[in-house]
Structure 1
Amino acid sequence: MKRLFLFLPLLLMLSTAVLAQTTDVWIVRHAEKDKSNPQDTDPALSDEGRIRAGDLATYLKKEKFDVAFSTPFKRTHQTLDSLIIQKVIDYKDIPSLVDSVKKNYSGKTVIVAGHSNTILEIIEAFGGKRPMEMLTDDDYDYIFHLTVKDDKARVKKDQYGRPHHL
């Protein structure tokens, strides 16, 4: 009976550790887009944006991603093109993105490419605190690393590539 009482707490601790896995979520805004045709609603990356996408690959060269999530636009996909990722999944809304990551990629490393008006909302949807008040249309050099456990996320903000605010 004593062994049972010693074994139960150990079993409980192990099951809790298995259930509460940490997921690494990297979130980045797409790189600079080609603005030469204001009528184009799905522009590709500009030359500067392609350079930044390469800088992203350099910045993340030590990371091994299990999956990437991208909005269904050229510029978000092209931003991730220089990373070696086997699976890229399109997402259309933040709740389904977060739900998919939590259900299917718990304990994994994922990257999300989004837009200036969605990045901070994605961070909050994962349970993180907004690391800055807003992202402007000119902010291309920020990257956010979330360490997600249960419904809380620790957020680290960094910059990569050529500083955008010169």
Structure 2
Amino acid sequence: MRHAEKMTDQGNDPELTEQGKKRAENWVNYFFLKDVDHVISSDFKRTKATASPLAKAKKLDIELYDVRNATGKSLLQEYRGKTVALFGHSNTINKYANELQNDSIYKELNDADYDHYFVVRVDKDGNSNAVKEKIDFVD
């Protein structure tokens, strides 16, 4: 998932807006009946704040990853066989999905797009399939 709505007047590492905080809480509802083994986030205030409610609800720590060095393949290698909720950015989550399915179908998300996310499934043979989905949590 991309981080939720961010403040626009706080520089390169902004906090979430009130709407963003609501969206972060709504991810808990989305994952309510789903097993989650790991909640991972880039090391930015907005992504950690988006991941925090889910991590708390699932009684998991937020695991940080280095957004500058992470790739879809490196994330898969580290978390293979696990269900992971990854919180990233409009210009990274599409890259991970593309890399895992060996194509470039998904473009960067528009800066105002907080409704799309990617579901990536890896079968027992290591074949990956990514699907871009949309959900609107906030009125």
TM value normalised by structure 2: 0.81
1:97-130: CA deviation from partner (whole Å, max 9, x where unpaired): 632432x432210111111111111112222545
Larger Rg: 1 or 2? Answer: 1
Structure 2 vs 1, CA of residues 100 and 156 (structure 1 numbering), >3 Å: closer, same or farther? closer
**Is the Cα contact below 8 Å between 2:2 and 2:90 reproduced in 1?**
yes
How many residues are matched? 133
For the pair 1:69 / 2:44, whether they are aligned, the reply is no
Partner of 1:48: 19
**Is the Cα contact below 8 Å between 1:116 and 1:136 reproduced in 2?**
yes
**Is the Cα contact below 8 Å between 1:128 and 1:152 reproduced in 2?**
no
For the pair 1:94 / 2:67, whether they are aligned, the reply is no
For the pair 1:110 / 2:84, whether they are aligned, the reply is yes
State the Cα RMSD in Å: 2.3
Query: How far apart are the structure 2 equivalents of 1:128 and 1:142?
Result: 20
**1:144 positional shift:** 1.2
Q: SS of the residue aligned with 1:41?
A: coil
**Is the Cα contact below 8 Å between 1:42 and 1:73 reproduced in 2?**
yes
Percent same amino acid at aligned positions?
Answer: 31
Stretches of structure 2 that go unaligned for 5 or more consecutive residues are none
**Is the Cα contact below 8 Å between 1:59 and 1:160 reproduced in 2?**
no
Q: Which consecutive aligned stretches of 4+ in structure 1 deviate over 6 angstroms post-superposition?
A: none
The amino acid of 2:49's aligned partner reads Q
Query: How far apart are the structure 1 equivalents of 2:36 and 2:61?
Result: 9
1:69-93: CA deviation from partner (whole Å, max 9, x where unpaired): 2110010011111112513221112
TM value normalised by structure 1: 0.70
More off after superposition, 54-63 vs 148-157? 148-157
Stretches of structure 1 that go unaligned for 5 or more consecutive residues are 1-27
Query: How far apart are the structure 2 equivalents of 1:123 and 1:90?
Result: 19
**1:54 positional shift:** 1.4
